[in-house]
Amino acid sequence: MSSLSIRSFTLFREEQPVRDALVLFTLTLLLHFLGAMLRLVQELSFFWPLNAVMAGIFARYVWLNRSYFYAVCFAAMLVYDGLTSRWGMGFASLLINFSNIVFIVTLAQLVLWDKRRADSMPGPINALNLFCFCLLAALLCAAVGALGSVDVERATFVPQLADWFSEQFSTAVLILPFILTLTLPSALSGFRFRQLLPVLALSCQLRLAWR
């Protein structure tokens, strides 16, 4: 089974599932950290890149669409919340992070369905289709996420639904096309997962220090 996109991006390899799982776990932690830091800046507080980036990755690499790879992402979100958030790993964390998974799975599967519908021919996805896919994924994510946020944010459901939807939809339509068409220089073909470990360690230390 081959990737749906240009193969110069070598972070993931079909023949190395354990490595792929570690990369997914690390990327999820880093993107969760980035999103949390952006929330500290008022102008960027509604920018949440995690879901759109991960959905794009799952859409680009067909072999990653297995339940255990999605479970790895979910586990990384729970671990991050357990270490850094005020609600820990309770029911609110489960529901909020499940909403992230709902978005990722929905958007990735819709993009893959569109690829299959076009007989797996390479080329850009119709912009209108991508817009509709982001819209549906954002609605589903917002419905679940708003339920989990009501008690945490001490707000009613409808305002939370609107906030979640605008955040997820705007970020997705901005980031997803970039992720789906991204190519990296061939010089990165020698990249090794262990090179990410210092960055991950530093990110975790900074986040714990600012808690």
Please list the pLDDT of the chain residue by residue as tens digits (211 residues): 444 444 444 678 888 889 999 999 999 999 999 988 887 665 556 788 999 999 999 999 999 999 999 999 999 999 998 888 766 567 888 999 999 999 999 999 999 998 888 765 555 557 788 999 999 999 999 999 988 887 776 778 888 899 899 999 999 998 998 888 877 655 455 556 566 666 666 666 655 555 5
What pTM does this model have? Answer: 0.79
**Residue 190 included in any domain:** yes
CA 38 to chain centre: 15
How many domains does the chain contain in total? 1
**Residue 93 included in any domain:** yes
Output b/e per residue, 65-93; b: 16+ Cβ within 10 A. Answer: eeeebbebbbebbbebbeebbebebeebb
**Residue 124 included in any domain:** yes
Residues contacting 160, CB < 8 A, separation 6+: 145, 146, 149, 150, 153
**Residue 174 included in any domain:** yes
**Residue 115 included in any domain:** yes
**Residue 175 included in any domain:** yes
Residues of the domain holding 109: 17-209
**Residue 8 included in any domain:** no
**Residue 9 included in any domain:** no
Sign of the Cα torsion 59, 62, 68, 73 reads negative
